[in-house]
Amino acid sequence: MTDFFTEFEKITKDEWVSKIEADLKGKDPALLYVTDEIEDIYFSSYYHNEDAIKETELPGNFPNKRGMNKPNNNFNNGKLILIGNESSANKQALNALNIGADLLIFKAEKQDVNWIEVLKEIQFEFIQAQFVIQSKNEFDALFTILKEEANIQYNIDFHSDNFQLEDIDELVKNFKEKQQRFCAVNGFKIQQLGANAWQELAFSLSTAHEYLVKLMENGFSIDEASACITFNIGMGSNYFLETTKLRALKQLWSKVVRAYSPEHSCSYNCHISAVVTHMNKSLKDPHTNLLRQTTEAMSAINAGIDNLIILPYDIFSDNGESELAGRMALNISSILCEESYLNNVIDPLGGSYSIEKITEILGKKAWKEFQQMDSNGGIFSESILTNFTKSIHSKRALRINNVNEGETIIIGVNIYPPLKVTHNEWNLNSTYLGVDPLILEKEYKTVTA
């Protein structure tokens, strides 16, 4: 390869470090290193060519850190439809399709939903759809209606109160011949409890591995089993770290699948729905929420995802989703795709020394935790799940403390709060693994009141 920069001398890492330390003018060189208590990782603020991870990985090749897409970085723009009233839910779904959504996620908020009314006039052959299934009866009712549809995904979380891992035995008969993703790994729920990045990864890998084993016990090949698994991953505010988290997940999932010798390369695909949720959002400061949602969405897109779901910041409030918040949530994705062209570049951060290094660091931490879980019975083991939940509590408490002590700044919450009084409160009644979702604004108000 021709060297076009012969007029510049090559600088070694030692020479570079000497110059950086000189520029510190006597300050502690330790300032150049980052120690993240919540993430439990330690890394440099700079890296040199000598630190580069030497590899020539291309998109579509094992270990798939750069994803499976080759022609583009396309993703679906998702809209969550909470079903309290069937007619209203149907109107909301149709309106969302008219203003930019090409993925609908339905979740019932009541019993005995009239699904025919909810799904009226929706042409599923042209869009993607997900249904958050909360009981076996709900699945039976929906599958009867939609079993011929190809673009359907059933998000069944076997960690939830209404499902157990053994329930897969009764459901698999519906998916043996035509694989549809129905085993949902809800890492985003773990993230929303306060877990750090590698905890979310370890939980996701362990859960997905348990699904794989269970499906293969039911007669699925590794290729058939992997096609039934999907990952729902939460997006936080640590811009580059969130990108590396998704890249590490793809790499580690490929490693798990490879252990079972699949016949088809597509079986390594890590199908990801990135969810931008509410932990750091404010009901009082919608404009700052818009900025947070945008950067979190960018973190996901830069890593390469299948679906992007930006939840309206007020969807889980007393007043419910406002029209403006709902429209803006869809618009962010559309703008990043149609005007910023982020859908045209695959893994744009790949090759960055820092990104590759942090991907490696996170991956090693998550893999070690996953192996420990796996060797002791997996994440469905009561003792493993109990200990894992305790470890999340420690990170959750640290997040809350950092906000209350001002070590973590959240504009609109613990600094520069809006003067306008907002008559709206958070309203999340759902728990996961017995823990309430973490909303830092709510915790800050509670502690400082």
The structure tokens listed for 13 are 């890492």
Of 8, 395, 408, the C-alpha closest to 198 is: 395
CA 190 from centre of chain: 10
Q: Which neighbouring-strand residues pair with 177?
A: none
Per-residue pLDDT of the chain (449 residues), as tens digits, is: 456 667 778 889 899 889 988 998 989 888 888 889 999 999 988 888 888 887 778 888 888 899 888 889 999 999 999 999 999 999 999 999 999 999 999 999 999 999 999 999 999 999 999 999 999 999 999 999 999 898 999 999 999 989 999 999 999 999 988 889 999 999 999 999 999 999 999 999 999 999 999 999 999 999 999 999 999 999 999 999 999 999 999 999 999 999 999 999 999 999 999 999 999 999 999 999 999 999 999 999 999 999 999 999 999 999 999 999 999 999 999 999 999 999 999 999 998 999 999 999 999 999 999 999 999 999 999 999 999 999 999 999 999 999 999 999 999 999 998 888 788 999 988 899 999 999 999 999 766 65
* CA distances for 13 relative to 16, 403, 406, angstroms: 5, 37, 36
In CATH, 1-449 is 3.10.20.90: no
The structure tokens listed for 296 are 């979190």
Given this model, what pLDDT does residue 449 score? 55
Given this model, what pLDDT does residue 3 score? 60
| Beta-carbon-side half-sphere exposure of residue 368 (alpha carbons within 13 Å) | 7
- Sign of the CA dihedral with 231 first, then 229, 346, and 309 last: negative
The set of long-range contacts for 203-207, using a CB threshold of 8 Å and a minimum separation of 24, is 203/379, 203/388, 204/231, 204/233, 204/249, 205/249, 205/252, 205/253, 205/256, 205/366, 205/367, 205/370, 206/370, 206/373, 206/374, 206/378, 206/379, 207/158, 207/159, 207/379, 207/380
Residue type, 358: I
Given this model, what pLDDT does residue 61 score? 84
Residue type, 128: Q
DSSP structural state of residue 10: P
Residue type, 226: S
Residue 284 CB partners (closer than 8 Å, separation 6+): 412, 417, 418, 420, 422, 441
The structure tokens listed for 183 are 């085993």
- Sign of the CA dihedral with 45 first, then 369, 308, and 291 last: negative
Q: How far apart are CA 289 and CA 322, in angstroms?
A: 14
Q: Are 317 and 111 in contact (CB under 8 A)?
A: no
**411 by DSSP, 3-state: which?**
strand
Residue 111 CB partners (closer than 8 Å, separation 6+): none
Given this model, what pLDDT does residue 448 score? 62
Burial class (CB in 10 A: 0-12, 13-18, 19+), 449: exposed
| CA angle (147 as vertex; 146, 152 as ends), nearest 5 | 65
The structure tokens listed for 245 are 């988290």
Q: How far apart are CA 311 and CA 275, in angstroms?
A: 7
CA 172 from centre of chain: 25
Q: Are 93 and 117 in contact (CB under 8 A)?
A: no
Per-domain residue ranges for the chain? 1-449
Strands (E) located in 84-225: 103-108, 128-133, 152-156, 183-186
Q: Which neighbouring-strand residues pair with 41?
A: 36
Q: Are 154 and 180 in contact (CB under 8 A)?
A: yes
End-to-end CA distance of the chain: 64
CA 388 from centre of chain: 19
The structure tokens listed for 305 are 């995802």
The structure tokens listed for 354 are 């820092």
Q: Are 347 and 66 in contact (CB under 8 A)?
A: yes
